[in-house]
Amino acid sequence: MVHTRAQISSNVDTGIKGSAQTLLKFGRAEGSINNKVTKEIKSLNDNYPTSDPALIKFRLIYLFCTMMNSSSDIPSQKKLDLYQSLQNQLLSPEMQKKEKKKSSVSSEKAIDKLQKSKSNNKEKTHIEETYSPSAGAAIPLNPTVTLKLDRNVAHLKVSFTYPISAKGPGTQLTVYSYQILNNVRHEDLQENVFTGYWKPGARGTFSIDVPSSYYDPTSGRELRFCVGEPKSCYPSENLLNGRKL
């Protein structure tokens, strides 16, 4: 998910943090955020009309999940329910349609770029593919990625094998990303944290949405996960490697 400060100004980021805090407060008290997400995202888009709606959306998901993960008073199942509710609403076809409409009237330049993209890359606006990321983990987790790649969002369903050499079951999985530019690691971002119970040698599955730009080979982006215990986990292969298309 996109939440880089280099792409979002500090005042916009402050506004997004406020919305994330509001949603978390509401979810903690009411157990649901269904009636608040649309209102908060509309307020952010209205207050910051020159900012990319997709960046605002992904930054909101990231900040909400980060705040929620550090909240010890929210049960794990409730955290999962709140995250899924937020993701389903922000990434729903209706929400994407609204963002597309807002983006299409923002400037003539944006319209021209979109029309050119449609005419030159119609066959690439929606790609579905299953692949196995190339090796690169000290202890292979043998992940398989089922990818649905749209214009703005990449939907990944990842299956993996929890190491048979592990001394006990894994209970936490953290998805993270970073960039390698000029052989230097930049912009470490925590994408998502999942809780579960994975026995040694067993297959596990999780799903996550990230910006489609992550698959741009010039971005230097790597997307990995680490599964095990909070203080000790097994890092995976780069999930962005290994595509055949």
The residue extents of the domains of the chain are: 10-118, 127-235
Confidence of residue 109 (pLDDT cuts 50, 70, 90): low
Confidence of residue 197 (pLDDT cuts 50, 70, 90): very high
Compute the distance between CA of residue 195 and CA of residue 233 in angstroms, rounded to an integer: 13
DSSP at 227: E
Mean pLDDT of all residues belonging to the chain:
81
What six digits make up the tokens of 34?
Answer: 């269904």
Phi and psi of 45, rounded to 5°?
Answer: -65, -35
Choose between 184 and 141: higher pLDDT. Answer: 141
Confidence of residue 202 (pLDDT cuts 50, 70, 90): very high
pLDDT at 5 > cutoff 80 = no
Closest CA to 175 of 213, 134, 205: 205
Closest CA to 206 of 214, 194, 197, 222: 194
pLDDT value for 112: 60
- Residues 118 and 125: beta-carbon distance below 8 Å: yes
pLDDT at 103 > cutoff 50 = no
pLDDT at 27 > cutoff 50 = yes
- Residues 237 and 143: beta-carbon distance below 8 Å: yes
Q: Tell me the average pLDDT across 211-219.
A: 85
What is the pTM for the complete model shown?
0.49
Closest CA to 141 of 35, 6, 238: 238
Rg of the chain, C-alpha, whole Å:
19
Residues 6+ away with beta carbon under 8 Å from 150: 125, 126, 212
Compute the distance between CA of residue 154 and CA of residue 157 in angstroms, rounded to an integer: 10
pLDDT at 28 > cutoff 90 = no
The CATH code that applies to domain 127-235 is 2.60.40
Compute the distance between CA of residue 23 and CA of residue 85 in angstroms, rounded to an integer: 11
DSSP at 2: -
